[in-house]
Amino acid sequence: MRQTTWGRLTLRVLDRPIWVRLGRAHSDRVKVKAVSHAAYYLTPLGPEGALTATFSDVVRSRSARTFVDVGANIGSYTWTFLTLVPDGQVIAIEPDPGSLSLLQATVNHWKRSVEIHGVALSNRTGLPILVWIVLEAIAAAFFLPRIIKS
């Protein structure tokens, strides 16, 4: 969608920040982009359903109080962890400024124990090249009528 002028214009108009619940397990609303992150709130367990379910099972079976979310994006795993461990602490690492601002808005709103770092992690020094996957936006476009009706 981002590869054509029409697609970029459509995303600019429709892809606004909104507050949503991420699946059934989350009680707190989080800030996401309406189109880019639609798979996180239109599917029960988000775009990584099986992995999210496994992550939840692992968190329940451990007594962990701290979670490091590397590549946090909008904080899907951060909020899953804090839903399961309400008094837990998260260290979230996210290099993308757009996702970082959405994550920060949610943390500020809910005043949860999340330490955010706007950096990329690598085994080398230098400037990173970030690659965005547009598949999520294309899938979200399929669900666009549902978003507009809500």
Q: What is the DSSP string of 39-96?
A: HHHHSTT-TTHHHHHHHHHHHHHS---EEEEET-TTTHHHHHHHHHSTT-EEEEE---
In the sheet with 66-70, reading across from the earlier edge strand, the strands are 66-70, 89-93, 114-117
Here the tokens at position 4 are 């054509």
Whether the per-residue pLDDT at 148 is higher than 60: the answer is no
Percent of the chain past pLDDT 70, that is, above it, reads: 81
Whether the per-residue pLDDT at 130 is higher than 90: the answer is no
Confidence (pLDDT) at 117: 96
Domains of the chain: total: 1
- In this prediction the pTM is 0.74
Predicted confidence band of residue 38 (pLDDT cuts 50, 70, 90): confident
**Which has more confidence, 31 or 125?**
31
Assign residue 136 the CATH number of its domain: 3.40.50
Task: Quick: pLDDT tens for 46-94.
Answer: 778 888 888 989 999 988 899 999 999 999 999 989 989 999 999 999 9
**SS3 of residue 112 by DSSP:** coil
**Which has more confidence, 149 or 56?**
56
Percent of the chain past pLDDT 90, that is, above it, reads: 35
Domain that holds residue 129: 5-149
Mean pLDDT of 23-42: 80
Here the tokens at position 125 are 């020094």
**SS3 of residue 60 by DSSP:** helix
Measured distance CA(131)–CA(52) in Å, rounded: 22
Mean pLDDT of the chain: 81
Whether the per-residue pLDDT at 20 is higher than 50: the answer is yes
Residue 82, exposed/middle/buried by CB under 10 A (0-12, 13-18, 19+)?
A: buried
**Which has more confidence, 39 or 82?**
82
Confidence (pLDDT) at 81: 92
